Amino acid sequence: MSTVRVDFLGRSKELLQDQALQSALRRGMSRFRSLRREVVGEVPEWEALRTRAREIKIHTLKHLPYYLRLLEERVQAAGGVVHWAQDGSEAREIILDIARRGGVQAAIKSKSMTTEEIELNAFLEAEGIRVTESDLGEFILQLSGDHPSHFVVPVVHKSKEEIGALFREKLGAPELREPEQLTRFARQVLRERFLAAEMGISGANFAVAQTGTVVIVENEGNARLVTTLPRIHVAVMGIEKVVPTLEDLAVMFRILPRSATGQRITSYISLITGPKRLGERDGPEEFHLVLLDNGRTRILADPEIWEALCCIRCGACLNICPVFERTGGHAYGWVYSGPIGAVITPLYRGLEAAGELPFASSLCGACAEVCPVKIDLVRLLLVMRRRAVDAGQGVGSLERLGFALWGVVSRSPFGYRVLGRLGRFALRSMARPERSPRLPFPFSQWLESRDLPPLPKRAFRERWRRLGQGK
Amino acid sequence: MVRGNDRSRELILRRIEEAVGFSPPTPLPAGPAVQRDWDIEARFIEEFTRAGGVIYRAGSAEEAGKILQEIAREVGAVRAARWGSPLLDLLQVDAVLAAVGVNIVSLPADDRELYGKELDSVHMGITEAEHAIAETGTIVLLADPGRPRAVSLLPRVHVAVLPREALLPTFEDLFPRLASRGIPPSAVTFITGPSRTADIEMTPVMGVHGPQAVYIILLESSPSSQAR
């Protein structure tokens, strides 16, 4: 894993200049938002469902040792093998070992953020195992050596023209212009790879402890192929993905597709319990479940932030976030982006590596309002900001001094009034028509990425007094 | 068989126990009820159709056969694969399709790659949905030795026969039935419409990895009760 510091500000400045990206993001995110609004609006018990989903996640986390042991026992009872990995490196070694023992030369993958997190592909490729991403978006990214910019539509930042050129260059495709032609072509290429692969690697949206069942939610059918055709299936999941019973899935099936893609349900949901049974014609002969910690137990032990583990990776907080809509996922520098990424990237990778990520938010709170498991993202962002400041991150000494002074002055009514008057006088003298005023350093820094609305004629306190309400 | 690493297992479980303690859970009380003021059949048809699927109703086995022939003609099928199910036998799927020039292939048993290639080249896969969920317009396929998963996945067109009595209102009605078998089938597949993607410029395209078209033949009065 690279430990390079995320340069959110620097990256986002570049990304904001990319006109194609800007229009793709606006179009894509606003479409997701309106689809979501429509399908959420038609569920009268939506709030009760959110509350329930959160209850299920919190309950499971509180009893995680019990449910993980139960899951392990049931997977084994169904003939599967359970592996425990403390970190990405151990998970990679486990998967490589399974591949080596199975004589695997080619593996095929369905979309999994957890395998992105542990940077599995590069590792397996370096060990001589050919890995193909089969989700259409992920396949395109793999061809271009790029990274996902969104949880659900990883390739939202690429145009069909770019993808057409990529297919011509890397796959010898003819000139293809429309998404439909490009999709057909990819289907043919990927079918060949599916038929040749000895190992399928998937993630898991949920795992049911009661039955030892891994659940995969998708639209393309590639996760079905990954869990059906190859001789070996390896599912990789974070330890927080377990739920107690099959009945709990009913709630998750109602909230996840609506929050993620604005669908009432996805085309496919697969419930996989162990390898194929005696006499079955397809399905894997070996089923492996890799349970990954990689920092999750550290988050669980942190009473201020452990609720971040409730996240079901739907991407609703990305789609609604005014910051994400402008920068896209690449600005966040790691696999998890948007408001939840701004919270958990510093947790997984360290405050220093995450740079100004906890500050990449206007704190408008829209993310917390749409979160289907009611994660209080605003509170979590504030916690991470406080920790960043305590660690000497994100705030310069000048800003620190400024706020300290402000803290002293604003506590006295007299000080507040005098400072207010001064400020208004100064701002008025610097006012420019139709634009924010040009302020002297250090205030100019503040306005680099913000607009200052024009001042009203009178301050609120003044108007209040004139109305005779003040005393 | 590869074994898990016991040391990591112990360490991870210990860390979790240090964080949250160990207490056997008392099960959560029941969740909120789903509002259910709709007609099961009407809702199923509405939702499955909205997801891009096509439904035909059949009043009899004979009618179901005619519909199957019509679908085969429409999609230009020459070769098809099917599940071994008493219901499909009762509908005389093989004979019905042979009459319109569609050949049912027998799938290679032992060679994984040949099996995949054969199904990949088939135009139509025919299955039976043992359950369906009206709430979302979803059919539920259960894998077993006669019912391989890839028949509903590799061919371009998937046709599922759905007996009227297999319709359930919601997911909550289904799950106790899966768990009552002790251990669920190796694969339980929920299908709602054709395979789809919107990865390129968020433009919807059907049939990216799975079938481009999904048909359901809804058997109003099922002969399957006699067959079982």
Question: Do A62 and A176 reside in the same domain of the chain?
Answer: yes
Facing A222 at nearest CB: one of B47, B170, B209: B209
As beta bridge partners, residue B157 has: B124, B213
Task: Summarize pLDDT for B150-180 with one digit per residue, the tens.
Answer: 999 999 999 999 999 999 999 999 999 997 7
The three-state secondary structure class of A363 is coil
Which residues, 6 or more positions from A243, have their beta carbon under 8 angstroms from its beta carbon?
Answer: A56, A57, A60, A67, A206, A207, A208, A209, A249, A252
Residue of B201, B203, B212, B214 to mutate, testing the A interface (most A Cβ within 10 Å of its Cβ): B201
* Model confidence at B226: pLDDT above 50: no
Amino acid identity of residue A380, one-letter, is L
Q: Is B139 a domain residue?
A: yes
Residues 114-173 of A with CB under 8 A from B: 134-137, 140, 153-156, 158-160, 163
In a domain, B17, yes or no: no
Q: Does A25 map to a domain?
A: no
Query: Cα–Cα distance between A87 and A94 in angstroms, integer?
Result: 11
Q: Are the C-beta atoms of A308 and A374 separated by less than 8 Å? A: no
Confidence of residue B2 (pLDDT cuts 50, 70, 90): very low
**Helix axes A8-17 and A19-41, enclosed angle (nearest 10):** 100
CATH value at residue A99 = 3.40.50.10420
Over the Cα atoms of chain B, what is R_g?
Answer: 21
Cα B186 → chain centroid: 13
Number of domains in chain A: 2
Question: In Å, what is the CA distance from A445 to each residue of A409, A423, A431, A433, B202?
Answer: 22, 17, 17, 20, 37
Q: Which domain holds residue B167?
A: 39-197+205-222
Residue A367 lies in a domain: no
Print burial letters for A307-316: b (CB count within 10 Å at least 16), e (below 16).
Answer: bbbbbbbbbb
- The reply to whether B9 falls in a domain is no
Share of chain B above pLDDT 90, in %: 82
Sign (positive or negative) of CA dihedral A113, A115, A120, A124 = negative
Q: Work out the average pLDDT over B69-82.
A: 97
Domains contained in chain B, number: 1
Record the tokens describing residue B147, joined without a space. 């019912």
Q: What pLDDT score was predicted for residue A402?
A: 85
Q: pTM for the complete prediction?
A: 0.93
CB half-sphere exposure, A431, CA atoms < 13 A: 13
Q: Which of the residues in chain A have pLDDT under 50?
A: 1-2
What's the gap in Å between the CA of B99 and the closest CA on chain A? Answer: 28
Residue B88: the pLDDT is: 97
In a domain, A7, yes or no: no
The domain spanning residue B49 has which CATH number? 3.40.50.10420
Give yes or no for a contact between A115 and A227, defined as CB atoms under 8 angstroms apart: no
B181: Cα within 13 Å, side-chain hemisphere: 13
Residue located via tokens 């860390």? B15
At B228 the pLDDT is: 39
- Average pLDDT in chain B: 92
Final residue belonging to a domain, choices A271, A294, A317: A294
Q: What is the pLDDT of residue B222?
A: 61
* Res B1: pLDDT: 41
- Helix/strand/coil for A327: helix
The residue segments making up the domain with residue A417 are 397-466
Domain ends where: A259, A276, A294?
Answer: A294
Is residue A255, in this structure, part of any structural domain at all? yes
Q: Is residue B148 part of a domain?
A: yes
Query: Rounded CA gap, B210 and B197, in Å?
Result: 11
CB B136 within 8 A of CB B103: no
The per-residue pLDDT for A469 is 66
Distance from CA of A275 to the nearest CA of B (A): 6
B120/A65 CB distance under 8 A: no
Distance (Å) from the C-alpha of residue A244 to the closest C-alpha of chain B?
9
Do A88 and A217 fall within a single domain? yes
Chain B contacts in chain A segment 17-56 (CB below 8 A): 24, 27-28, 31, 44-45, 48-49, 51-52, 55-56
A218 and A268 in contact (C-beta within 8 Å)? yes
Q: Which residue in chain B has the smallest CA separation from A94?
A: B4
Shortest CA gap A393–chain B (Å): 27
pLDDT reported for residue A410: 87
Is B209 in contact with A134 (Cβ distance < 8 A)? yes
